[in-house]
Structure 1
Amino acid sequence: MNSRFLLPFVVLSAVLSQPATAQDKKIAVSGYEGMIVTGYVDHGAFLNFAGPNISYKSGSTRVMFGMLPSLRYKEDQSAIKNASVLPVLGVGVSYAFKHMVVQLPLYYNAKTATKDGSWKPGLGIGYRFSQ
């Protein structure tokens, strides 16, 4: 493998491994935020724990945009029913102030024999374990 392809990864890992103080760390990439959110979307409910995201932090406030691994609870109205609890992956924006979280997720409903596929917005509220 050519070493010029590895150079950007070495530089990026060196930058990310530098210790940062609270004053100079405003924008971050995170794998887990330590929060639990529940809410409503498309005539059903969801429960998620924020996954990988890009966040902006200022004091006790944090705004995150990222992936939302979730469990969706929805009763199927068709003759042949799906399970009422489904694992899904959403995307959305979360706003956290201290321990309170408000979330605007989007979940995709796949195409069926009677409906086209579409994105469905939701609204959630939750708790953040750390500030």
Structure 2
Amino acid sequence: MCLLFPKSGTSQTTKLQASLFEGILLAGYTDHGAYINCTGPAVKYILKKASIMAGLLPSLKIKEDRVQAGAARNSLLTPTLGFGLTGCYKHLVVQLPAFYSAKTSTTDGKWKLGVGVGYKF
């Protein structure tokens, strides 16, 4: 086999791979509230000590509704699924997520962008 596929002297420094879970925990801000999430299924581009991922983000949004008196309120904690880009350098993580905010009695449904920081275990 070595005769057909000789090894070159250079090593591969970048690669693209699929990932189910990365061991990343993040906290951030979006749509006048906070979120806590971990990275879910993603496509990851790996550099030497850094990586960039695009994928799904299972999250727990923490947001208090601004509603008129007497109107129904949503829960303070809401599980949600977002998607976005996550960049890792060693153990530092920066994230640009997008979450969908459903239509309510006072606002239309829209995609909201956010920003977060975290740690890769």
| Shared fold (TM-score, shorter chain, > 0.5) | yes
Q: Deviations over 1:44-85 (max 9, x none)?
A: 000000000001001110000000000000011223211100
Number of residue pairs matched? 108
**Equivalent residue for 1:107?**
99
- CA RMSD, Structure 1 to Structure 2 (Å): 1.4
Give yes or no for the alignment of 1:56 onto 2:45: yes
2:75 and 2:45 mapped to 1: Cα distance?
Answer: 37
Gaps of 5+ in 2: 1-10
3-state secondary structure, aligned to 1:122: strand
Gaps of 5+ in 1: 1-21
* Contact 2:14/2:48 (8 A) holds in 1: no
Matches within 5 A, 1:1-131: 23=12, 26-78=15-67, 79-129=71-121
What is the percent sequence identity of the aligned residues? 47
2:110 and 2:43 mapped to 1: Cα distance?
Answer: 25
* Contact 2:15/2:45 (8 A) holds in 1: yes
Structure 1 position 114, deviation (Å): 2.5
**Equivalent residue for 1:11?**
none
Give the structure-1-normalised TM-score: 0.79
Runs of 4+ in 1 over 6 A off after TM superposition: none
Give the structure-2-normalised TM-score: 0.85
Q: Which structure has more helix as a fraction of its residues?
A: 1
